[in-house]
Amino acid sequence: MMLTVLKYMASCMRAYRSLAALFFTLLLLDLAFISLAPLSFQLLIDRAILPKDMNAFAIILTVLAVSGVLCLSAGVVSDRILAKLSAHIQQDLRKRLFEHMQQVNMGFFEKKRSSELLSYFTVDLPSIERAMNAIMTIGMQSITVVSISTIVLFYLQWSMALVIVLGAAIIFAGPYLLGRRAEAINISHKEQLDLLVGDIQENIKAQKVIKGFNLQQAMTNKFAKRLQAMFLIHYRKNVIGSQLERLPMISLLLVNLSIIGFGSYLALRGHITLGALVAFFTMYTSMGNSVFNLTFIIPVFTDASVSIDRMNSLLHAPKEASGSLSLPAGIDSKPDIRFSDVSFRYNEEQEALKRIDLRIAAGTTAAFVGSSGSGKSTLVQLILGFYQPSSGHIEINGIPMQDINLGSYREQIGSVFQENFLFRGTILDNIRISKPSATKEEVIEAAKKAEIHVYIMTLSGGYDTMVQDEGSNFSGGQRQRLAIARAILKNPQILLLDEATSALDPISEASINRTFKELSQNRTVITVTHRLASITHANQIYVFDKGELVGSGPHQELLAEGGYYKELWDKQNGMQVSSNGREADIDEERLAKLPFFQGVDTEILKEIRSLFNTESFAAKQQVIQAGEQGEKFYLIARGRVEVSRKNIDVEGGKQHLAILEDGDHFGEIALLNNVPRTADITALTPCVFLTLQRKGLHYVLSKHPEINDRVRKTLQERK
């Protein structure tokens, strides 16, 4: 363990050889004085005090004072050099870690919690710094003092020196034997610390969910369990730490006793002079202190050795596989994307994509549609080269993806996702990140196309307004528009839009979709959407279901085929949302497709239709809370909701059950009678619902006894 840490430090210092050499030289001077000073007692007693020689006394004292001042000054300078060396090494390690983190593949981030990655910087680097400072100060000092003292002690009295060497072996035996256990406890302590920090971090991020679901007490209880686990390991770490310090102390006492007895016996017998005995004891005391100091840094070393291992696990994590061929940039080199028999799995449990064959010809518009979880976003991530297929091939312009330099390829892609990250900095910086050379005018132009310019101009800071905490001072729609501006500014060959307008209101969505259509003139556009009406113009639509490609072709062709696409289309069709998003409507034909209204007379459906109200919810707003009494039915005219259940044992405190989107419905059991809701429903994007109250429906049904029983029976079956 000691050797690992020392080797690691030596490798860190390699870049600063001259600084380190200067440090060691000055340190040696300083230490030589500290180690040899006790010898002056022998000279003072035997050459000056006993023979009463004033001259010798003056010379010895002067030499002592001058060398003392010189060596102590060397010590002060070496402190400053060490401070610089240590700061350099910390900076290098931070840089190395950060640089590597930019290059590791996505799978690595999936497996690690962000708190664990953070702790490399906040826990492990400081622990390495502590060990380095300890070895370069107390450690070096103690080792030098012990080495010089041992030589001098052998020179003064070899048999006593031998006893000391044996004693030193006993002193270190304890820490050596405890070493492995201490290391294991240290590893567990760091792991628990990661989990604890992770819980706190997650709790901060999940405050809206926690308060919304009234989970404060449950979260506090869960945290108390974590603290209990942390307490145990913290206690064990403290115990082993104190044992590592205490054991050498006990051994040292025993060795002291033997030396005092043996030394005094030798002096009594006249085997050594009085001066030599005093010098021996003084030197031994200073050596004893140094040995003692060395035992103090053992826990620091154990800590650092665990940290080095942890950091190496990051530094050895596989990098993104990137080839050497650069894709030529420029407007004429539109990439053609081909998937041949591509399958992909994130983990052993489930295949996210199964044997996909598709081709997105350069300059065309392709759309990926399908239910939630069908693999659309996974496909986008494969196109971006975030993951490698588990089997099959992806080719760009006929070149295997793994041979292409990912940097040059991604240079040609502009992407917008459902959730877009905004960095700390100004709005201008955030848009310009995709094209650092862009002028402010170009940024403004892009912001205008993304329909965010007018809003930016209403802010007192305009484009210099600061983005706070990942964009928390902007709405989901505004964040999405800033991301769209970013992608537009880049003017990429491939525009990748993964639910890029999901957070926008209908007017903005329609208008931005027009912008995207214009932008598609001279480039490849790949759109992932669950809103089929927005991609009817696509050259090729790919339909996914449970990771499989179940259909492809232009809109009309797919409709004519009458498969899954038609099913999705029919589900979404027949509902209209006004352009301001405040009013929604449904026609009777669509109403008749609801299982419990099948076969109901059009006239009655007209009556039922008039009972529907429009309700709007903002993204992240709770629509239904489990346990509350339900009295209405919801039909999603526009938007996406998450169905979940409170469960503090899973991350974030809730268990995800399903995603529902345009055309889906929920809560129909409430149309039958007053039953408590069985799950929570939360809006993921701004949502517009058509809602039907039980009382209204019952009134209509009571007027039409001929359908009353049938509707109730179907509802009962669904229950």
Residue pair 211/276 in contact by the 8 Å Cβ criterion? no
Q: Is 372 in the site for ligand ATP (CB under 6 A)?
A: yes
CB hemisphere CA count around 168 (13 angstroms): 20
Residue entry with tokens 């002690």: 153
Given phi > 0 = left and psi -120 to 50 = alpha, else beta, which region is 564? alpha
Rounded distance, CA 382 to CA 401, Å? 10
Given the complex with ligand ATP, which of 376 and 590 has the nearer CB atom?
A: 376
Task: Considering the complex, state which of residue 68 and residue 373 has its C-beta at the smaller distance from ligand ATP.
Answer: 373
Q: Tell me how far, at minimum, the Cβ of 345 lies from ligand ATP, in Å.
A: 8
The CB-of-571 to ligand ATP minimum distance in angstroms stands at: 15
Closest of 511, 508, 483 to residue 495, by C-alpha: 483
Q: How far is the CB of 666 from ligand ATP (least distance, A)?
A: 16
Can you list the positions of beta strands (E) in 364-492?
A: 365-370, 391-396, 399-400, 413-416, 425-426, 466-467
* Minimal distance, residue 503 CB to ligand ATP, in Å: 14
Q: Which stretch binds ligand ATP (CB under 6 A): 124-132, 342-350, 664-672, 701-709?
A: 342-350
375 is an interface residue for ligand ATP by CB under 6 A: yes
Q: Does 378 bind ligand ATP (CB under 6 A)?
A: yes
# of chain residues touching ligand ATP (CB under 6 A): 14
**Beta-carbon contacts of residue 582 (< 8 Å; ≥ 6 apart):** 614, 616
Which CB, 135 or 549, lies closer to ligand ATP?
A: 549
Query: What is the longest distance spanned by two Cα atoms in the chain?
Result: 131
DSSP string, 61-72: HHHHHHHHHHHH
Tell me which of 112, 189, 237, 376 binds ligand ATP, using CB under 6 A. Answer: 376
3-state secondary structure of 490: helix
Candidate ranges 335-343, 366-374, 589-597, 599-607; the one touching ligand ATP (CB under 6 A): 366-374
Query: How many angstroms separate the CA atoms of 293 and 98, rounded?
Result: 35
Q: Does 430 bind ligand ATP (CB under 6 A)?
A: no
Q: Give the residue with the Cβ less far from ligand ATP, 543 or 700.
A: 543
Residues forming a β-bridge with 426: 466
Cβ closer to ligand ATP: 376 or 486? 376
Residues 16, 17, 18, 22: is their CA dihedral positive or negative?
positive
Among the listed ranges 275-283, 358-366, 367-375, 510-518, the one in contact with ligand ATP (CB under 6 A) is 367-375
User: What are the backbone angles phi and psi of residue 221, rounded to the nearest 5°?
Assistant: -65, -40
Q: Binding ligand ATP by CB under 6 A: which of 126, 212, 323, 373? A: 373
| Rounded Cα distance, 287 and 150, in Å | 8
Q: Single out the residue of 644, 649, 670, 669 nearest to residue 659, CA to CA.
A: 644
> How many Å separate Cα 573 from the centre of its chain?
41
Restricted to residues 346-365, the positions that interact with ligand ATP (CB under 6 A) are: 346-347, 350, 352
- Strands 466-467, 425-426: pairing is antiparallel
The two tokens of residue 376 are 């659309």
Say whether residue 576 binds ligand ATP (CB under 6 A): no
Contact between 477 and ligand ATP per CB under 6 A: no
Q: How far apart are CA 628 and CA 375, in angstroms?
A: 34
Tokens at residue 12, please?
A: 């860190």
Query: What binding mask, one character per residue, do residues 651-690 give for ligand ATP by CB under 6 A, x or -?
Result: --------x-------------------------------
Nearer of residues 193 and 379 to ligand ATP, judged by Cβ: 379
State which residue, 46 or 419, has the beta carbon closest to ligand ATP.
419
> Least distance to ligand ATP from the beta carbon of 682, Å?
14
Instruction: Specify the stretch interacting with ligand ATP by CB under 6 A; choose among 10-18, 323-331, 376-384, 504-512.
Output: 376-384
Compute the least distance from the CB of residue 348 to ligand ATP, in Å: 11
Examine residue 386 and tell whether it contacts ligand ATP (CB under 6 A): no
Q: Which is nearer to ligand ATP, 216 or 350 (CB)?
A: 350
Distances (CA, A) of 184 to 127, 178, 195, 257, 637: 16, 10, 17, 35, 57
Q: Which residues contact 680 (CB under 8 A, 6 or more apart)?
A: 213, 622, 624, 625, 626, 643, 644, 645, 646, 654
Smallest gap from Cβ 651 to ligand ATP, in A, equals 13
**Residue 110 touches ligand ATP, criterion: CB under 6 A:** yes
- Whichever of 108 and 596 has its CB closer to ligand ATP, that residue is 108
For residue 147, the minimal CB distance to ligand ATP (Å) is 55
Of 350 and 629, the one with the shorter C-beta distance to ligand ATP is 350
C-beta of 107 vs 696, nearer to ligand ATP: 107
Residue 104 or 297 with smaller CB distance to ligand ATP: 104
Residues that bind ligand ATP (CB under 6 A): 110, 346-347, 350, 352, 370, 372-378, 659
